[in-house]
């Protein structure tokens, strides 16, 4: 019988931009158990509801995570709007959809770059990030911020984007699409890349369901579950189908995210074609009272925002359940039985966002 040894992975690890620590229990090179320890990025921002009023909390919510920042701010605002019974204008809903999809685009391109860096393909990493900058330019042109936009407020948006600019975005995306297609061909077809992804970290459909995986991680295991299909914001008027794959390995997860890039571009096209004219915000008076649970589909999966308000300017409770938090148990299951050398790749393929998870 081989002896067991423990290899620490993280918190500072070259493939991880963020700190997470996993103790890998090995038998020879095979991982038999993975024990995570988290808390390196824990700030305790949910507790800030006691110190910052419900309008200021929008900025805190946006800083839950710098990558899906827009969606965090948007979901918090949407939750508080539901509590207050505020119906935001149609144009604001459509604009929110555009920004949500832009942030999904930049997040997926960012992840493709990190994946390439993870298997040591540096020029591919650079290519993915070069294309991502063009998405960030659009965010900056429309919101003023590259990552943290702060255009959300309770009752709508702080800024309007004129239709000419929206059409120029579609124009840019039309030019960008063939470039992205050229770039992703390397991920999907290159034999060296495929040798690192094919059959690595398989998560079966049953396990993915039972352990509560979310987002592309779940969809790559063959379950077509996408919160956007519930039709929040303008998604109800948009024609799209959840992207799935049946293999459940690292390659499937890469393919799902790549297809979602093109899906997002398509959604932006549809939204810009349908966007109505009008105001982007309604005046909001009074303080929230009641509770609401908001579910949104972030780039990494389903996020859940819970707010409870008691009629004062401070909320009683805010709770965020982020997608990576849900994805950690299936990830640990997936790590069992894999080779030590594949661990960094497998951790990357769930697209971990630790600052979301630990809040």
Binding stretches for other proteins (CB under 8 A): 11-15, 17-19, 39-45, 47-48, 51-52, 59-60, 63-67, 69, 110, 113, 125-126, 129-130, 132-133, 136, 146-148, 353-356
d(CA 251, CA 221): 11
Which lies closer to other proteins via its Cβ, residue 115 or residue 203? 115
From the CB of 333, what's the least distance to other proteins, in Å? 25
Q: Please report, for residues 104, 261, 298, 331, 344, the alpha-carbon distance to residue 254 in angstroms, rounded to integers and kept in the order given.
A: 14, 11, 16, 15, 15
Comparison of 52 and 158: residue with beta carbon closer to other proteins: 52
87 versus 122: smaller Cβ distance to other proteins: 122
Measured CA to CA, the distance from residue 211 to residue 207 in angstroms comes to 6
Q: How far apart are CA 215 and CA 253, in angstroms?
A: 10
Neighbours of 285 (CB within 10 A): 7
Contact 13, 331 (CB under 8 A): no
Q: By C-beta, is 97 or 355 nearer to other proteins?
A: 355
Report d(CA 338, CA 341) in Å as an integer.
8
* Contact (Cβ atoms closer than 8 angstroms) between residue 176 and residue 134: yes
Q: Which is nearer to other proteins, 42 or 185 (CB)?
A: 42
* Radius of gyration in angstroms for the set of CA atoms belonging to the chain, rounded to a whole number: 21
Using the minimum distance from each CB to other proteins, give the nearer residue, 117 or 342: 117
Nearer to other proteins by Cβ, of 18 and 302: the residue is 18
Q: Could you tell me the smallest distance in angstroms from the CB atom of residue 356 to other proteins?
A: 8
Report d(CA 221, CA 36) in Å as an integer: 23
Could you give the angle at which helices 90-118 and 122-143 cross, rounded to 10 degrees?
160
Q: Which of 73, 94, 349, 333 is nearest to 237 (CA)?
A: 94
In the bound complex, what is the minimum distance in angstroms from residue 277's beta carbon to other proteins? 33
Least Å from the CB of residue 276 to other proteins: 32
Rounded Cα distance, 7 and 333, in Å:
17
Give CA–CA dist 76/165, Å, rounded.
27
């Amino acid at each position: 019988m081989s002896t067991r040894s423990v290899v620490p992975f993280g918190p500072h690890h070259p493939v991880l931009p963020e700190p997470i620590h996993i103790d890998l229990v090995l038998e020879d090179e095979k991982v038999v158990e993975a024990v995570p320890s988290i808390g390196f990025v824990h700030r305790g921002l949910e507790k800030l509801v006691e110190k910052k009023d419900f309008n200021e909390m929008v900025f805190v919510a946006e800083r839950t995570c710098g990558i899906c920042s827009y969606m965090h701010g948007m979901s918090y605002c949407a939750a508080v709007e539901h509590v207050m019974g505020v119906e935001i204008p149609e144009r604001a809903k459509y604009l929110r959809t555009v920004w949500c999809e832009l942030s999904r685009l930049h997040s997926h391109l960012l992840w493709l770059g990190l994946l390439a860096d993870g298997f040591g393909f540096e020029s591919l990493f650079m290519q993915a990030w070069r294309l991502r900058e063009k998405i960030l330019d659009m965010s900056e042109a429309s919101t003023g911020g590259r990552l943290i936009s702060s255009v959300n407020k309770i009752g709508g948006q702080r800024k309007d984007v004129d239709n000419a600019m929206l059409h120029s975005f579609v124009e840019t995306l039309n030019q960008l699409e063939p470039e992205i297609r050229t770039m992703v061909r390397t991920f999907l077809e290159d034999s060296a890349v495929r040798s690192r992804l094919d059959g690595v970290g398989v998560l079966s459909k049953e396990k993915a369901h039972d352990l509560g995986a979310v987002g592309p991680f779940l969809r790559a295991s063959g379950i077509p579950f996408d919160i956007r299909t519930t039709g929040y914001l303008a998604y109800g008027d948009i024609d799209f189908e959840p992207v799935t794959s049946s293999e459940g390995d690292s390659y499937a997860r890469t393919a799902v995210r790549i297809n979602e890039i093109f899906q997002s571009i398509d959604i932006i096209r549809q939204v810009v074609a349908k966007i109505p004219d009008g105001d982007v915000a309604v005046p909001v008076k009074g303080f929230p009272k009641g509770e609401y649970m908001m579910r949104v589909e972030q780039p990494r999966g389903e996020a859940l925002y819970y707010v409870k308000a008691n009629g004062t300017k401070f909320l009683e409770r805010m709770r965020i359940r982020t997608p990576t938090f849900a994805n950690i148990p299936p990830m640990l299951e997936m790590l069992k039985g894999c080779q030590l050398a594949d661990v960094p790749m497998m951790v990357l393929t769930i697209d971990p966002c630790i600052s979301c998870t630990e809040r």
